[in-house]
Structure 1
Amino acid sequence: MRRILFLLIFGIAGLAILLSLGAWQVQRLHWKEGLLADIDTRIAGDPVRLPDLIDPETHRYLPVVVAGEMLRGEIHVLVSVKQVGPGYRIIAPFKSGERTLLIDRGFVSTTAKSTLRQIGEMEIIGNLHWPDEIDGYTPAPDMDENIWFARDVPALASELGTEPVLLIARSQTDPDITPLPVLTAGIPNDHLQYAVTWFGLALVWAAMTGYFLWRSRALSESETQ
């Protein structure tokens, strides 16, 4: 009986822990869905003029409209677009009044890397963003071929001589460039998967606990005969 009681307590405790972890992930899922909904609303808002003082946390995803001149010079950031294949994001300097910022103009195929693109006066609508794309495995830029592997805003700004401010265009800046606007689809939300995993483990734990209890009881009965 002592062995059966131990297994019962151990099984219930483990089951409670696994169920609580699953419930916590469900709560996190609802929180993340609300956060993504807020971000979607902000991304799609009416564009405003570029703030005088820009803060990466306060102004992340802020919709902005700027008028000015697209300058010469660009950086190519290697990306892959689903159902299209590899290509490059075109990052270029843009002068608006006394300020110069980075514009993510969008996507071109690998064969269009060296194509001449439209520059000069234009108006752009987009969203401010500071992508977090750098980790310990990100290769250093290939400066000879002008190929970068992440949008490192401070490094891009230093290379092109701009403010460390990136506007990701959602309006077209060139007929041959496909805009890649900011979307929440790129923000991970794996909480449902985690919840299913924890609840699945809880089910397995409950089944195994039941099996061991049945086996222990069968052994106890055989020992008493």
Structure 2
Amino acid sequence: MSFRPRFWPTVIMLPALAILLALGSWQLDRREWKHDLIADLAVQQAEPPVPLPERIDPDALEFRRLALTGTLLHERELYWASRTLDGVNGYHVVTPLRLEDGREILLDRGWLSAADLDPAGRRASQPDGPLEVVATARRGGWGGPAWATWLRPVNDPAGNRWLWPDLEAMAGATGLLQPVTEIYAVVEPGQLPPPPQARPPEPELRDNHLQYALFWFTMAAALLVIYVLFHRRPRGGRTPE
């Protein structure tokens, strides 16, 4: 058997092989970046809570623990729909918290069943007056890729049903005067009486980059094998047309 590469198959194969190898290498780089990010988030979660700064940098504050002092505006609470807990569909209650300096930040108090949605039935879990809570800063926005905005679900401000945290629209719908729209806060468990049931903030950081890298490298190997087999022929035989 002999191996004699043909021009056009080679011209097509080499760029394709380079792209596949580049994609695999990129996923390995992303894996290292993701591991560093997870380590940084673990350090941030272990640090003591800090007051909300006057100037807010969403990138620097993401997943930082905050010490917030203010008054909950229960009459203006909002509802994130289609939130599940242990397989049960429900809502997250988002209550504006008016801070001592007059700013208002949206506070995700946690999960609530549809049966408990009426505020009149849970007055005991709506504390009045100034209070202190510890919460974790999160960025708002849809979070999907910019090229796929057509996939973004539509919020229902009139019905007070929100599917993703459009912080500016939520602040406008509830009539806040000095809203913080760069971030919102997720209250830690044990800070406020249930319901709602507060949930610990969990970074949504999937670490699937090794699997993706192996996929692209496997595709590159398969392409190379096909290329070699295509150009093998018996010695003295004709190159297939």
Q: Report TM bin, short chain.
A: 0.7 to 0.9
1:46-66 deviation line (CA, Å, top 9, x unaligned): 101221222323322221111
Q: 2:98 maps to what in 1? A: 95
Does 2:77 match 1:74?
yes
Q: 2:86 maps to what in 1? A: 83
Q: 1:5 maps to what in 2? A: 5
Gap regions ≥5 residues in structure 2 = 144-148
- Decide whether the 8 Å contact of 1:28 with 1:191 is kept in 2: yes
Report SS of the residue matched to 2:91.
strand
Report the TM-score, using the length of structure 2 for normalisation: 0.78
Which of 38, 41, 62 does residue 39 from structure 1 map onto? 41
Letter in 1 for 2:131: M
Q: 1:180 maps to what in 2? A: 199
Distance in 2, matches of 1:112 and 1:106, equals 13
> Percent identical across equivalent pairs?
25
Alignment of 1:197-216 (within 5 A): 197-214=215-232
Distance in 2, matches of 1:112 and 1:194, equals 42
Distance in 2, matches of 1:101 and 1:142, equals 18
Report the TM-score, using the length of structure 1 for normalisation: 0.83
Does 2:153 match 1:138?
yes
The alpha-carbon deviation at position 26 of structure 1 amounts to 0.9
Q: 2:56 maps to what in 1? A: 54
Gap regions ≥5 residues in structure 1 = none
Q: 2:126 maps to what in 1? A: 118
Q: 1:147 maps to what in 2? A: 161
- Decide whether the 8 Å contact of 1:125 with 1:171 is kept in 2: no
Which of 196, 210, 217 does residue 192 from structure 1 map onto? 210
The alpha-carbon deviation at position 197 of structure 1 amounts to 1.6
- Decide whether the 8 Å contact of 1:124 with 1:171 is kept in 2: no
Letter in 2 for 1:138: P
Letter in 2 for 1:91: V
Distance in 1, matches of 2:30 and 2:187, equals 31
Q: 2:65 maps to what in 1? A: 63
Distance in 1, matches of 2:77 and 2:200, equals 18
- Decide whether the 8 Å contact of 1:15 with 1:202 is kept in 2: yes
Over 3 Å counting, the alpha-carbon distance change for 1:82 and 1:205 in structure 2 is farther
Letter in 2 for 1:210: V
Q: 1:107 maps to what in 2? A: 111
Residue correspondences, number: 219
Distance in 2, matches of 1:61 and 1:188, equals 16
1:154-200 deviation line (CA, Å, top 9, x unaligned): 1122223151242111133222222233322x134442232122111
- After superposing the two structures, state which structure 1 stretch, 7-16 or 69-78, moved more: 7-16
- Decide whether the 8 Å contact of 1:15 with 1:206 is kept in 2: yes
Letter in 2 for 1:119: P
Over 3 Å counting, the alpha-carbon distance change for 1:178 and 1:201 in structure 2 is same
The alpha-carbon deviation at position 208 of structure 1 amounts to 0.7
- Decide whether the 8 Å contact of 2:83 with 2:111 is kept in 1: no
Distance in 2, matches of 1:71 and 1:85, equals 27
- Give the alignment's Cα RMSD to 1 decimal: 2.8
